[in-house]
């Protein structure tokens, strides 16, 4: 318990547990819809917001949330209105966002340790203001998921049948991608924009190996995510490792164990 004597570790654990809860629950809907790459795309889009914030002197976290939400709406609009393939839309936005972020940062001369922490995550960089922001927006995102979880599951199971059943599929799709965008933008402080997709996808895929119902899968995924974040930040503290990379390796280890345990 020595690490909890430090205030930065207390802040990091609070933020990390909130992120684990949000990422695992939203990740269940994302994976079931075979939409896993949206997390990577929105993470790179959020990096544009970080770059703008660092160069212009705004709060990078707030800018990341704003840009990620706008990107999520653009993805859903292009997918639904122009009948484009989802993977094609994601690939275009992913590469375009990363290119824009690199150019902005290069022109502004903002390649520094602060940007590095947003790329790969850093428990030292989590401030009290970040924790408050994560708690507020995280609560709103979680409330939206829990309020419409039945409809979102129905859409994930069969979107066409959901439409004929009278569910407002388009509106709920925009809601889901907005929630995912918020969660990803909030997560880049702890996990990093290049690694957050793994935290959203791997715990859910690990839980799916146990072949239980939707609710149990979500709860198992939640447990795996919390375990992975807690173990990752502990190892990061004691061995001076990047928090994001360590967390991802921990959830990856959990996935390998789940895969081997359920190989039959």
Is residue 254 in a domain? no
Is residue 241 in a domain? no
Is residue 54 in a domain? yes
Query: DSSP class of residue 6?
Result: S
Would the pLDDT of 221 be above 70? yes
The pLDDT tens digits for 114-125 are: 677 787 877 777
H-type alpha helices, the chain: 7-32, 37-56, 60-81, 86-108, 113-120, 128-147, 149-157, 159-164, 169-187, 196-208, 214-239, 243-261
Is residue 131 in a domain? yes
Instruction: Give the residue among 46, 28, 32 at the shortest CA–CA distance from 181.
Output: 46
- The confidence score (pLDDT) of residue 112 equals 60
> Other C-beta atoms within 10 Å of 241: how many?
16
Would the pLDDT of 203 be above 80? yes
> Other C-beta atoms within 10 Å of 198: how many?
23
Is residue 77 in a domain? yes
Is residue 209 in a domain? no
**What pTM, to 2 d.p., does this model score?**
0.87
Phi-psi category of residue 211: left, alpha or beta, with phi > 0 → left and psi -120 to 50 → alpha: left
Is residue 230 in a domain? no
User: Would you give the end-to-end CA distance of the chain in angstroms?
Assistant: 39
Percent of the chain having pLDDT more than 90? 37
Total domains in the fold of the chain: 1
* Domain limits for position 20: 2-195
Burial of residue 112 (number of CB atoms within 10 Å: 0-12, 13-18, 19+): exposed
H-type alpha helices, 86-158: 86-108, 113-120, 128-147, 149-157
Is residue 104 in a domain? yes
- Region 170-190: mean pLDDT is 89
- Joined together, the tokens standing for residue 154 give 């129905």
CATH of the domain at 62: 1.10.3470.10
Would the pLDDT of 83 be above 70? no
- The confidence score (pLDDT) of residue 87 equals 74
Would the pLDDT of 104 be above 70? yes
Instruction: Give the residue among 70, 96, 81, 256 at the shortest CA–CA distance from 181.
Output: 70
Q: How confident is the model at residue 25 (pLDDT cuts 50, 70, 90)?
A: very high
Q: How confident is the model at residue 257 (pLDDT cuts 50, 70, 90)?
A: very high
């Amino acid at each position: 318990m020595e690490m909890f004597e430090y205030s930065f570790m207390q802040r990091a654990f609070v933020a990390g547990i909130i992120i684990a809860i949000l990422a695992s629950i939203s990740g269940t809907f994302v994976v079931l819809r075979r939409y896993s790459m949206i997390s990577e795309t929105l993470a790179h889009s959020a990096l544009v917001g970080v770059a703008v914030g660092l160069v212009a002197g705004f709060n990078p976290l707030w800018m990341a949330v704003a840009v990620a939400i706008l990107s999520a709406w653009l993805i859903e609009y292009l997918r639904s209105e122009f009948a484009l393939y989802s993977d094609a839309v994601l690939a275009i936005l992913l590469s375009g966002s990363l290119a824009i972020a690199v150019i902005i940062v290069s022109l502004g001369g903002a390649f520094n340790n602060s940007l590095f922490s947003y790329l790969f995550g850093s428990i030292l960089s989590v401030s009290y203001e970040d924790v408050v922001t994560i708690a507020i927006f995280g609560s709103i995102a979680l409330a939206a998921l829990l309020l419409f979880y039945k409809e979102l599951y129905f859409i994930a199971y069969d979107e066409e049948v959901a439409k004929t059943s009278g569910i407002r599929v388009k509106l709920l799709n925009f809601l889901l991608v907005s929630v995912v965008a918020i969660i990803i933008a909030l997560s880049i402080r702890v996990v990093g924009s290049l690694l957050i997709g793994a935290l959203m996808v791997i715990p859910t895929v690990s839980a799916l190996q146990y072949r239980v119902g939707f609710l149990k899968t979500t709860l198992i995924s939640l447990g795996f995510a919390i375990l992975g974040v807690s173990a990752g930040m502990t190892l990061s503290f004691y061995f001076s490792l990047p928090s994001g990379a360590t967390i991802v390796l921990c959830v990856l280890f959990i996935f390998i164990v789940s895969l081997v345990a359920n190989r039959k």
